[in-house]
Every structure is written in C-alpha cells, then in structure tokens.
Structure 1
Amino acid sequence: MTDQSAAESTTPVILELWSDLVCPWCWISKRRVEAAVAAFERPHDVTLRMRSYELDPLLPVGERMGVAEHLGRKYGGGVEGGRLMNAHVSDVALDDGLSFDWHRAVRANTFDGHRLCALALELGGPALQSAAYERFHSAHFREGLPIDDHGVLQRLAAEAGLDERRVAAVLAGDDYAARVREDEELARSMGVTSVPFLLANGHAATSGARSVEDYLALLRGVVTEGV
C-alpha cells in the first residue's frame, strides 16, 4: 500500500470502536485512532463511531471502590498490584497527552453513561458523541466523579453539549438501553471479550490499544487493498 494510492482511492471508511468509559486503554486507543485519521490522506472520508461495551455490567450502581483495589481483586496482587497496573498505563498515556488521577478514580457502572453517548450520536452525530466520551472519560479518570450518578451524568452531558431536557428524559427512563445492548451483542457475536476493539468497514479488525502507525496502516489497507 502507498500514501498515493490511499489518496487516490474513493472508498469511504467507517470505523467502529468498541469502548468502555472506565477503560484507560480505550481512551488511549480513541486518541490514537483520531490521530491516525488526522494523518490519513483523506480524513474527511473517515467516520468514527463509538460503540458500547461494559467491562463490569453486573457492577451495582452506586457501589464505590477505588480502581486500584478493584483491579487487585479482579486480577490478583491486591491493592499494590492494582497500583502497579495503573502506573503502567499512566506511563504509556503520557505520550498521548493523557493523565490520570488514580487516587481519586472510583469504579462505576457505565450503562447509563453509554445510553447518553447513544443519545449524543443521535443529537449531533459522531462529533457530539466523541465530546460525550471525552467528558465522561475525563470525569472518571481525572476528577474522580462517579459516572453512574444521575446528577453527575446530567451535568457532564450538558457540559459536553447535549440538550439538558433530553438528557433528563433519558435518565428518567430506559431510552437507548436497547442500543447499548445491541452494541454489546454485536461484539459478542464477533467473539470480542475485551476492549478496545476496532472494526473498519465491517471486516478489518484490530484489538487492543495499537499505535497510531498501526491504525494508519489499517486505514490505508482498507481503502487500497480492501483488507
């Protein structure tokens, strides 16, 4: 594949990124995919849509636990093991312009947050959806806010640019719940068991937080080779 052939192609690219709002590697992956799109020869022909995935769908709403303690229980090693995992991802994220405050971050159920991200996509397309993801990520990782609290979600969504009345209506009911479940079921049908997971034009896939160069190569491959 060549830069020239990618520039000459007329193939549009639809990127679908499965992600969770409390997954640091997902935030890193999102930023790297966006950087790859910006470096791509035809960035305006690329659409990035975020899709929902819950790492802990059974986590009770309102249950509060520090992220290090949670990781230590889930993967072993206790709180110290969780802290080491957090330190590693923090070191990696520095090159992507991201920082995390692990002393404040608390684990939270993300289902309602994903519903609001689906609302954002409907209200303002991928750009508003991206803004919602960024605001929720920042609230969780940098501000230690519980992003399963409806009052917190109401404020964060408004700050991201969503209509406050629509947000309140969604949080008061079950709108977009089916949309979130559809994303998760689609992921399961493809054998996805962890995120981030990126799908390009419905068939070219990559999992994990890859480099910007890897994502750029994927973009070019999709438009020049159909792979």
Structure 2
Amino acid sequence: MTNQSAAESSTHVALEVWSDLVCPWCWIAKRRIEAAIAAFERPHDVTMRMRAFELDPTVPVGEGMGVAEHLGRRYGGGVEGGRLMNARVSEEASGDGLSFDWHTAVRANTFDAHRLCELALEMGGPALQCAAYERFHSAHFSEGLAIDDHEVLQRLAAEAGLDERRVAAVLAAEDYAAEVRADEQLARSMGVHSVPFVLANGHAAVSGARSVDDYLAFLRGVVTDRV
C-alpha cells in the first residue's frame, strides 16, 4: 500500500446506526448525521449502515392505537396529555425540516419493516437502505400510516425504490428475520438499551440525538483518534 492510499484508508469512517422506525429521536438523529456527513471534509469516506432495534417488540401487529392515546394511557392525561408529551420532540423536529402529525400517528410493530430495510441493504447498499428508513419514518410520523400493515409496506417499499416482487416474497415469508435479530442481539451485547446509538469503526460510540455540530465533531474525532 502506498503512503497516499494508506492515508486515504485511515480517514474512512464506517457508521453503524441502531434505530427504530417509530422512534422520533431516531429520525431526527438520522437527518442530523446525514447533515454532518455532508459538512465533513471527506464525506465520500463516510458510510452509514442502519441497524435494527425495536423499542417495543411486543406491540401487536395491526393494533392501530394512536400514539398519543397510548402515551396518555401509559403516563396519564389521556390523548391530550400524550400530545403534550410530544410537544418538545415536534419542536426539535421542525428545526430539521421534519413534520410530525401526532393526531394521526399510530403505534405499529416494526419487525417486518426492519426486514424490508435489510432487503434494501442487500439490493442497493446503504443508500437504498437509508431511503427505505426515510420512507417508513415519514409514513409513520407524518402520514398516519400503519407500518406493520403488509399492503402499506408493499407500497412504501416500492416508493423507496425496492423491487415489488422481492418485497412481496419477503413479506410472505420470514426472510431477513435472522438479520434483524442479529442486529438487536449485537446491541444487547454492547449494553445498548435505547436508540439512537451510533458506532464508528467498531470502537467509538455516541448515543442519543445530538446536534449536527456534535456529530461533525464526532466524525472528525474518529478520524484523528480523539474518540
């Protein structure tokens, strides 16, 4: 390896981002990480792979309960109480160009959607996987769609750029279930119990939704071995 290629390879940053599709802070973090990568001195040296995480794998498929109603029941205050709980995250999201509609958002089991995100990774690499994540996030938070409904998932996946026949085959079987479980097991092995969680080059980590500047500093620190 030449000195130049060695220097170039040393700047590579491989990000692994554990995220759930119904986690508002995860969508915010994804957008901010992408903005940090764009502002990074060598953005083409950064790759970002999304990894599956389920905040609540026990949510019944097809339940359809409103998110605000669920929060109100769990923490008190009814539907309005649930909406008030989401006021802060909505304010944060608006600064990142994201719109949350808590009046229509419904709880959903995300296992099948995560399986489709694994399919997207196989079909088109991290770029297509991120497109699938983006489409599912938007459907859940902004459009009030149930992302555990197979008909909805079929349409959303196609809109994200996935092959419709492959999507139908995955939804009709258990394809990529092992990959989703492996992501979750890897998170548990590292003591990760909440998301978003970012791992860089297998050793540097940051948790929670940080600012764009924080993520940019994180990327620079990884390259210079400061984190």
Instruction: Give the TM-score normalised by the residue count of structure 2.
Output: 0.94
**Separation of aligned partners in 2, 1:54 and 1:129:** 17
Deviation at 1:79, TM superposition (A): 2.8
Q: 2:207: which partner in 1?
A: 207
Q: Secondary structure at the match of 2:116?
A: helix
Q: 2:126: which partner in 1?
A: 126
1:9–1:224 CA contact under 8 A, matched in 2:
no
What fraction of aligned residue pairs are identical, expressed as a percent?
Answer: 82
Q: Which residues in structure 2 correspond to 1:188-207 (within 5 Å)?
A: 188-207=188-207
Q: 2:158: which partner in 1?
A: 158
**Separation of aligned partners in 1, 2:68 and 2:58:** 19
**Separation of aligned partners in 1, 2:190 and 2:84:** 31
**Separation of aligned partners in 2, 1:214 and 1:53:** 23
**Structure 1 residues 169 and 74 mapped into 2: Cα distance closer, same or farther (>3 Å)?**
same
**Separation of aligned partners in 1, 2:72 and 2:94:** 23
Structure 1 segments unaligned to the other structure (5+ residues): 1-6
Q: Which residues in structure 2 correspond to 1:74-223 (within 5 Å)?
A: 74-223=74-223
Q: CA RMSD in A?
A: 1.4
Aligned residues: 221
**Separation of aligned partners in 1, 2:77 and 2:193:** 22
**Separation of aligned partners in 1, 2:203 and 2:78:** 39
Q: 1:4: which partner in 2?
A: none
1:9–1:223 CA contact under 8 A, matched in 2:
no
Structure 1, residues 9-28: CA drift from partner, whole Å, max 9, x if none? 83210001110111110000
Structure 1, residues 112-163: CA drift from partner, whole Å, max 9, x if none? 0000000000000000001100110111111111100000000000000000
Q: 1:19: which partner in 2?
A: 19
1:65–1:107 CA contact under 8 A, matched in 2:
yes
Q: 2:3: which partner in 1?
A: none
Q: Secondary structure at the match of 1:193?
A: coil
Structure 1, residues 172-221: CA drift from partner, whole Å, max 9, x if none? 00000000000000111111111111111111111110001110111001
**Separation of aligned partners in 2, 1:45 and 1:185:** 28
Q: 1:3: which partner in 2?
A: none
User: After the TM superposition, which segments of 4 or more aligned residues of structure 1 sit over 6 Å from their partners?
Assistant: none
Amino acid at match of 2:157: A
Amino acid at match of 1:194: S
Structure 2 segments unaligned to the other structure (5+ residues): 1-6
1:19–1:52 CA contact under 8 A, matched in 2:
yes
Q: 1:59: which partner in 2?
A: 59
**Structure 1 residues 205 and 109 mapped into 2: Cα distance closer, same or farther (>3 Å)?**
same
**Separation of aligned partners in 2, 1:166 and 1:15:** 27
**Structure 1 residues 121 and 8 mapped into 2: Cα distance closer, same or farther (>3 Å)?**
closer
Structure 1, residues 8-64: CA drift from partner, whole Å, max 9, x if none? 883210001110111110000000000000000000000000000001101110111
Deviation at 1:75, TM superposition (A): 4.0
**Separation of aligned partners in 1, 2:97 and 2:15:** 22
